[in-house]
Amino acid sequence: MSGTAPRKVRTLFISDVHLGSKIAKADYLIDFLRVHEAETIYLVGDIVDGWRLRRSWHWPQSHNDVVQKLLRKARKGAKVIYIAGNHDEFLRDFQGRHFGGIEVADQMIHVAADGRRYLVIHGDQFDAIVHNVRWLAYLGDKAYDLAIVVNRVVGRVRRTLDLPYWSFSSWAKVTVKRAVNFISAFQAIVAEQASNAGVDGVICGHIHHAAMEEIGDVRYINTGDWVESCTAVVENFDGSMEILRWTESAARPGNMPEPFVPVVIEGKAVAA
C-alpha cells in the first residue's frame, strides 16, 4: 500500500491514544496517519497519558514516531489542534499556546463544510467520577489496564485459532449493564450541553466507545480510541462524517490492508 496515494479528507478527529502507556497501539496510528491527509487535525484529548507516565516511564520509539508524524503534518500546512483531556490535563495550563505548530485548547467550535457547528471537547468535563471522586477514577484506570491484559491473551488465542479480532474489554464495557447505563448517560449529558451551547453537534472522546447518532436535536459523535478499537472520525469535503476503524491486521509488518470495506458501528456503515 506504500505506493497508494493517501486519502485526502477535510478534517480528522483522533482521541484517546494514551501515548506513554503500554496499551497504546501507536504502530496502528502511524499507519493510519501515513495514508490519510487532512487540512485540519483535531487531537481530542488523552493523546499523551500523563497518569501512567507519572507512575512509570514508558516511551518507546513508536510513541515518539506518532508525535513526529503529527509535527511533520503541521509543518506541511495542516492545522493541528490539541484538545486537552483528563489524562493530559497538564496541557490545560497552556491553552492558546503553540508547540511546533500545534495549538493547545480546552475546547473548540468546528464549522463543517455543510455549515454545521460542532463542539469539539474531550468529554471528561461531564464525567462526575473523574472530577468528584478522583481516587475512584484512578482505580477504574487500573481495572481498565487489567481488562486490556485479558484482551491481549484472548487476542493471541483467537489468532492461534485463526479467528477474527475480538475485543474482550470492549465487549465487557458494553455488556455489563452499569457500563451500558454509564455510556448512555454520558452521551445524553454531552448532547444536552452541546444543545445548550447552541451548536448542531458534539465531537468527543473519553469513554473509548465510537458512536455517531442523533440525540434530540444534536448530532453526537465519539471518536473511540487507539488502545482497543482503533477508530477515528473524518469529515469529508461535503461535510459528511464517517467513523473509520483501523483493524488489527492494518499494522502488521508486510501486511498493509487493502482499501476499506464496510463495517457497521452503532447502526452506521463505516470503514474498516
- Per-residue pLDDT tens digits for 122-181: 998 887 544 444 443 444 455 556 555 666 666 676 667 776 655 655 555 555 445 556
What residues make up the domain containing 124?
8-271
CB 69 within 8 A of CB 31: no
Range from 4-8, 25-29, 132-136, 147-151 carrying the lowest mean pLDDT:
132-136
Please give the average per-residue pLDDT across 98-119, as a whole number: 96
Please give the average per-residue pLDDT across 67-94, as a whole number: 94
- In this predicted structure, what is the pLDDT of residue 188? 87
Looking up residue 59, the CATH number of its domain turns out to be 3.60.21.10
Q: Which three cell numbers stand for residue 131?
A: 472530577
H helical segments located in 91-219: 128-132, 134-160, 168-175, 177-196
3-state SS of the chain: helix, strand, coil percent to 5?
A: 40, 25, 35
CA distances from 242 to 146, 212, 219, 233, 236 (A): 31, 8, 13, 6, 8
- In this predicted structure, what is the pLDDT of residue 262? 34
| Residue 3 lies inside a defined structural domain of this protein | no
The rounded distance, in Å, linking the Cα atoms of 47 and 25 is 11
Q: Which three cell numbers stand for residue 112?
A: 463543517
| Residue 228 lies inside a defined structural domain of this protein | yes
Task: For residue range 221-257, list pLDDT tens digits in order.
Answer: 999 999 988 999 999 999 999 999 987 545 444 444 4
- In this predicted structure, what is the pLDDT of residue 174? 54
| Residue 109 lies inside a defined structural domain of this protein | yes
| Residue 1 lies inside a defined structural domain of this protein | no
- Name the percent of the chain lying above pLDDT 70: 70
| Residue 2 lies inside a defined structural domain of this protein | no
If one counts the domains in the chain, the total is: 1
The rounded distance, in Å, linking the Cα atoms of 192 and 7 is 34
- In this predicted structure, what is the pLDDT of residue 137? 44
- In this predicted structure, what is the pLDDT of residue 66? 97
- In this predicted structure, what is the pLDDT of residue 228? 83
Please determine, for residue 10, whether its predicted confidence score (pLDDT) is greater than 90: yes
Beta partners for 220?
Answer: 202, 213
At position 180, the amino acid (one-letter code) is: V
* Residues with Cβ within 8 Å of residue 30, at least 6 apart in sequence: 62, 65, 66, 69, 251
CA distances from 256 to 31, 87, 252, 272 (A): 8, 31, 7, 13
User: By C-alpha distance, which of 143, 193, 141, 147 is closest to 167?
Assistant: 147
- In this predicted structure, what is the pLDDT of residue 269? 37
